Structure 1
Amino acid sequence: MGDRIFNLLLAFFLSVCLSMSLSKAMALDGHLAAQTEYNWNLPEWTPKPVVPDSNPMTAKKVALGRHLFYEPRLSITGKYSCASCHQQSLAFTDGKQVALGSTNESHTRNSMGLGNVAYSPVLTWANPLITSLENQALIPIFGEHPIEMGMVGKEQQMIQWLQDDLNYQQMFAQAFDDRQPVNLDNLTKAIASFQRSLVSFNSPYDRYRYQGETNAISAAAKRGEKLFNSERTECFHCHTGINFSDSTQHENLAFTQTAFHNTGLYNIDAKGSYPPENIGIKEITQAEKDMGRFKTPSLRNIALTAPYMHDGSIATLREAIAHYQAGGRTISEGEWAGIGSASPYKSGFVKGFEITSSEIDDLIAFLQSLTDREFITNPAYSDPNLPKLK
């Protein structure tokens, strides 16, 4: 995210803070009480996510956020919604190498999955400053470089048609106890609430590991699990915990875990450089050591979220394993040619390893066992405007 988008985000955030009314602050205790009543539909072994006190979870907010998430009128063309890049059938990714905005502008990043996003303490691929789903929602709606929803400069028109829509009038009034509930602050809170509701903990692996169903996964997947958690492959160092990511937070953790890694994907000049539009968190920190460092994504539903890496430059799980097997990617020719394994900024966990073809099959079987079919078919997460299946 460039400086212009960050400044835009900051300006909106400050305006939101200044516009909060005293009555809303006084109503916080009531909302907190409602938060305790929200049903996360989590298995017993799963801790609850951390939710900001300023936006406690309620069923009404989640319902409103679901409509807004699938609402194409929040885009400049009237044909593009949050769900355009985050499709439920693909675990809320889009299957493209990089995202495509409402004006057909290609982005530089692959669309991240939203499953269990409530457990992520830092959002986006490479911005450690974006830690709130409420603030993050402003970027796709109003960001200009690149354009996603393309609504910058049209804030008042957007709020006006929401206020004029009888259905939204009612849903906003039910979700927020404000004198004028239809506003930008509440819109982002509702979308964030729906995103937090997208929990995925019912894969075959979950049933095997946490619910005692010994036959829920295959023998190959069980062998793959051992490989995954071995010091030989070292996968578990970065893909750890209940969400298979070392950037995780939940109610049982004493502190927030946040990490970014360089995996040796590029080494353009033999000095560790990445493509100029994808330099990782160095764009924010300006520190050389942060070149090519990106967030570790969750591996849940990974079989559905190809292509992989921050720029979608690895097409399959087999190719992704080959990348780590080699300790970094070698690009032999072209603009981005270089030996990634020799990058001075590469993570110490990406060392390369020996593995047989059958062991690769086992590792893929394990990764496929992380697919939660209930998650991608749950009607509570689907487009509310589509007809219900009988």
Structure 2
Amino acid sequence: MRSRRWTNWILICFLACCLSISAKAAWGHAPDEVGGFEPVPNRIEEFDWQLPSWVPRPVVPDDNPMTAAKVELGRHLFYEPRLSVTGDFSCATCHLQHLAFADGKTLPAGATGEVHPRNSMGLTNVGYNSVQTWANPLMQHLEQQMLVPLFGEEPVELGMAGRENELLQTLQSDSDYQQRFQDAFDDESPVTVRNISLAIAAFERTLNSFDSPYDRYRYGGDATAISDAAKRGEALFNSERLECFHCHGGLNFSDSTRHERSGFTEIAFHNTGLYNIDGNGAYPSDNTGVQEITQKAADMGRFKAPTLRNIEVTAPYMHDGSVATLDEAIAHYSAGGRTISEGPHAGVGSQNPLKSSFIKGFSLTETEKQDLMAFLKSLTDETFLTNPKLSSPFE
């Protein structure tokens, strides 16, 4: 399975190049051992991001500038079920707005019913990610990533591999889409796979969430926006005792973040001791993290730390959805790794030799645990979860 997925990834990258996506957009910069990357200059644009003044804009590739027409086309395509082989499955099927564009399932199933090995990651502030998906250091751009659900075969998501002409004919025969593509792209024949990818990526860059109670407290100067318990929880979160902030810090509560003010861009992956099947650090063979790409033993079990914004509504957690609740997630980190006592995945995660040095374990009183929970829940942005500009245009 691992080699087949790698072959599938090579095919997607080849397709990206064939679709004339620039080399920078397709591959970014080669990662070094610590995950440092040079920042990509942001394009000066007139697009109205509707961001608070304290929030920097996301980085936008030079070959995909933001426009209102392109974003609106991308919104339609994001919710368009005709982009799937069955005609009833869209990007939004696995990315629901009221769940911060996650889906609430342990593991999703694609259009053909094939169950995926990884949990549907929420798309909160996805335009600020320095790397996309759970564990692929090469997947750095939304334009590039969109080709995977559209054409990937291991596993099947939208299932359109080999049906490119059929897809384009469907959109070309729709007069509304004809006009939207023409408005968005100054091309003689604008309905192309490349432009589908560019438009959806542009829409995804508007999935921005910076209006949580915590934001109003920390950046808006409203001392009453969060409770005293949440304020104590923030202090715990940022303490060396818990170490949370090392992997979930900064603007997006993730250490794989970049924006227009970034002095440098970090891409990081971490082993949190979720598994330790053989006592030597092994993870389930169909979900080995970055090791699947790099083939390096030290990368076993390393996955991206996703944003904690809207974490209250994105359960279940971890790359495989195997942690059901926030309470369980806190317990996992408190123990310094998960112990599975029986079954094929049995092992003591806290003893995983490949585990991050930040996962040391800690003890909390019940009051402290509730304080930490209150802080995490203060990151829920109800405006984002209900913003009509991000919702389906077909309802």
Distance 1:33 1:58, change over 3 A: farther
Contact 2:137 2:290 in 1 (8 A): yes
Provide the residue aligned with 2:225 in structure 1.
216
1:362 aligns with 2:365: no
| Deviation (angstroms), 1:332 | 0.2
Counterpart Cα distance in 2 of 1:5 and 1:384: 32
Provide the residue aligned with 2:307 in structure 1.
298
Provide the residue aligned with 2:8 in structure 1.
5
Of the candidates 158, 164, 171, which is equivalent to residue 173 of structure 2? Answer: 164
Provide the residue aligned with 1:28 in structure 2.
none
Trace 1:26-41 onto structure 2 (pairs within 5 A).
36-41=45-50
Counterpart Cα distance in 1 of 2:205 and 2:12: 20
* Percent of paired sites with the same residue: 61
| Deviation (angstroms), 1:34 | 9.5
Runs of 4+ in 1 over 6 A off after TM superposition: none
Provide the residue aligned with 1:145 in structure 2.
154
Contact 2:271 2:356 in 1 (8 A): yes
Query: CA offsets per residue over residues 215-274 of structure 1, 9 Å max, x none?
Result: 000111011000000011010010010100000101111111110000000000000000
Counterpart Cα distance in 2 of 1:361 and 1:14: 50
Counterpart Cα distance in 2 of 1:338 and 1:306: 24
Provide the residue aligned with 1:27 in structure 2.
none
Provide the residue aligned with 2:391 in structure 1.
382
1:99 aligns with 2:108: yes
Contact 2:105 2:119 in 1 (8 A): yes
Trace 1:1-390 onto structure 2 (pairs within 5 A).
2-17=5-20, 36-386=45-395
| Deviation (angstroms), 1:33 | 12
| Deviation (angstroms), 1:4 | 2.2
| Deviation (angstroms), 1:102 | 0.8
- What secondary structure sits across from 1:170 in the alignment? helix
1:178 is aligned with what amino acid? D
Q: How many residues align?
A: 375
Counterpart Cα distance in 2 of 1:46 and 1:158: 37
Contact 2:42 2:62 in 1 (8 A): no
- What secondary structure sits across from 1:294 in the alignment? coil
Contact 1:35 1:57 in 2 (8 A): no
Counterpart Cα distance in 2 of 1:271 and 1:128: 24
* Cα root mean square deviation, aligned: 1.5
Counterpart Cα distance in 1 of 2:228 and 2:87: 49
Distance 1:33 1:214, change over 3 A: closer
Contact 2:43 2:60 in 1 (8 A): no
Query: CA offsets per residue over residues 270-292 of structure 1, 9 Å max, x none?
Result: 00000001100000001111000
Distance 1:305 1:268, change over 3 A: same
Counterpart Cα distance in 1 of 2:328 and 2:234: 18
**Uncovered stretches (5+) of structure 2, i.e. residues with no partner:** 24-40
1:207 is aligned with what amino acid? R
Counterpart Cα distance in 1 of 2:102 and 2:355: 27
| Deviation (angstroms), 1:18 | 8.1
Contact 2:248 2:254 in 1 (8 A): yes
Distance 1:346 1:35, change over 3 A: same
Distance 1:367 1:34, change over 3 A: closer
Counterpart Cα distance in 2 of 1:256 and 1:384: 34
Contact 1:34 1:57 in 2 (8 A): no
1:195 is aligned with what amino acid? E
Contact 1:35 1:58 in 2 (8 A): no
Contact 2:43 2:62 in 1 (8 A): no
Query: CA offsets per residue over residues 158-198 of structure 1, 9 Å max, x none?
Result: 00111111000000000000010000110000000000011
Counterpart Cα distance in 2 of 1:374 and 1:78: 30
What TM-score, normalized by structure 2, do the two folds share? 0.93
Distance 1:194 1:19, change over 3 A: closer
Contact 1:247 1:259 in 2 (8 A): yes
Counterpart Cα distance in 1 of 2:42 and 2:298: 45
Distance 1:290 1:34, change over 3 A: closer
| Deviation (angstroms), 1:107 | 0.3
Counterpart Cα distance in 2 of 1:50 and 1:283: 28
Counterpart Cα distance in 1 of 2:254 and 2:229: 23
1:8 is aligned with what amino acid? L
| Deviation (angstroms), 1:7 | 1.8
What TM-score, normalized by structure 1, do the two folds share? 0.94
Contact 2:21 2:194 in 1 (8 A): no
Counterpart Cα distance in 1 of 2:137 and 2:151: 20
Counterpart Cα distance in 1 of 2:333 and 2:255: 17
Counterpart Cα distance in 2 of 1:54 and 1:179: 17
Contact 2:71 2:200 in 1 (8 A): yes
